[in-house]
Amino acid sequence: MELFGSSGTRGVVGEEFTPERVRRVAAAAAAVWDADRVAVARDTRLSGAPFADVAAGTLAAAGADVDRLGVLPTPGVAYYCAREGVPALVLTASHNPPEYNGIKLLGTDGTELSVDAYERVERAVVGAETPLARWDGVGSTRRIDGVGDDYRADLLTGVDREAVAAADLTVAVDPGHGAGCTISPAFFRELGCTVHTVNAEPDGHFPGRDPEPVAENLTALRRLVRSTDADVGIAHDGDADRAVFVDERGDAIDGDTSLAALAAAELGGGDVVVAAVNVSQRLVDAVGAADATLDLTPIGSTYIVTRVRERRRAGDRVPIAGEGNGGVFFPGYRLTRDGAYVGAKFLELLAAADPPASEVVAPYADYHFVRENIAYDDDDERARLLDAAAAYANGADAALDTTDGYRLDYGDAWLLVRPSGTEPKVRIYAEARTADRARGLVTDLRDHLETAR
């Protein structure tokens, strides 16, 4: 897919992402959905409100009644879709910087569209004249209040509330000025936790930190954990479908580590875990210890959703799926990434064990992970970088997997290079038992790619 990458479509506002793109995607979605009623929501980005107006107007002109949900985490929109049986268009650029915006499309069951469904929408975009309704068939628009409260109540039904409350946990929460500000602090208080917050005011400028919840952006949260003696810190991205953790010492917990710890608590013999091709050895170890099976997909939530559906239709039990960026699925609750729910499941781990967060994840922290991005300016430069990546991979003394990009397994370490599905970047990932080994792999490949510019 060219328009829809690994998780929706995104771009810099006023450049790739314009009102016309929003109109065309909304028109294409209307044609593919052919729905009488559609929901529209957004995160906190400055361009979200006017773009939501464009989307709602396009959908109404196509004959759909439009439910305007306002600012709401994407998993909250998913809850509404499943409850009401309506599809949704969400204006969000997730973890991307403030100048970006984007669109995610959700189906009537609350899950992100499958690969096939996104491809149908993408084909429709090419010729997407708005399918206009007759004058007496134009849809209405209405504001829907209270969805956030209902969503929080639904979250509580999927969590062991009594166990978490009994643990008397102190939690530091950093929603990063995104849509999670409207949900997560209140939700964790409702779980019985003492909650301290930072960057908890909705603000599309994202003044406190960049929306991506990676260690280098979590300085304020790490400081808050230490100053309040919190048991754990929880951070979200812009639309709060991810959760990243900080332990009681103020040290960031790698997303691959928390995914492995969560998986170990969920898995039994014969279970299946669906994960992206940049999967960590930590998850591989947790899956093997449980006598479960690991099924790899290309990177991106839509690929994981599609594969989970396939495995469940085949009769497999898939209790957990996800990526090492904090985007975790618990399909038994809902087949969508949900930062608040993942945060609550991690609190369940802490409630069930006497050791602190650092010790809960310690069995899965033996590996060192490094990621680096190489930005490119145009399609020609992108092609040169990928040609160089292919040459490097094909000449390496390692097992090669081409599910998504080029993954090289060296036995003691692995290396992956692939084009981003959401930004003009080529991403390099490596994992090894020592930081020097992981950094060396990334540096060697990066230097090779730089010669291709």
Q: So which residues are the catalytic ones? A: 94
* Nearest alpha-carbon partner for 51 in 87, 9, 2: 9
Backbone angles phi, psi at 252, to 5 degrees: -70, 140
- Structure tokens of 292? 């479960």
3-state secondary structure of 88: strand
| Sheet strand arrangement including 88-91 | 9-12, 100-106, 88-91, 37-42, 65-71, 141-143
Q: What is the separation, in whole angstroms, between the first and last Cα of the chain? A: 25
Q: With contact defined as beta carbons under 8 Å apart, do 7 and 422 qualify?
A: yes
Kindly state the DSSP code that residue 216 receives in the 8-state scheme.
G
* The dihedral formed by the CA atoms of 26, 29, 34 and 37, expressed in degrees to the nearest 10: -60
Non-local CB neighbours of 231 within 8 Å, separated by 6+ positions = 169, 170, 171, 248, 350, 356, 357
Give the start-end residues of each E strand in 62-216.
65-71, 88-91, 100-106, 141-143, 170-174, 194-197
Non-local CB neighbours of 319 within 8 Å, separated by 6+ positions = 266, 267, 268, 271, 273, 330, 331, 332
* Nearest alpha-carbon partner for 66 in 91, 45, 36: 36
Backbone angles phi, psi at 155, to 5 degrees: -55, -40
Helix, strand, coil share of the chain (percent; to 5)? 40, 25, 35
3-state secondary structure of 389: helix
- Rounded-to-integer distance, Cα 173 and Cα 195, Å: 7
For 107, 120, 136, 199, 386, the CA distances from 322, given in Å and listed in that order, are 19, 24, 45, 26, 26
Backbone angles phi, psi at 424, to 5 degrees: -75, 70
- Rounded-to-integer distance, Cα 192 and Cα 190, Å: 5
DSSP secondary structure of 11-80:
EEBTTTB-HHHHHHHHHHHHHHH--SEEEEEE-S-TTHHHHHHHHHHHHHHTT-EEEEEEE--HHHHHHH
3-state secondary structure of 448: helix
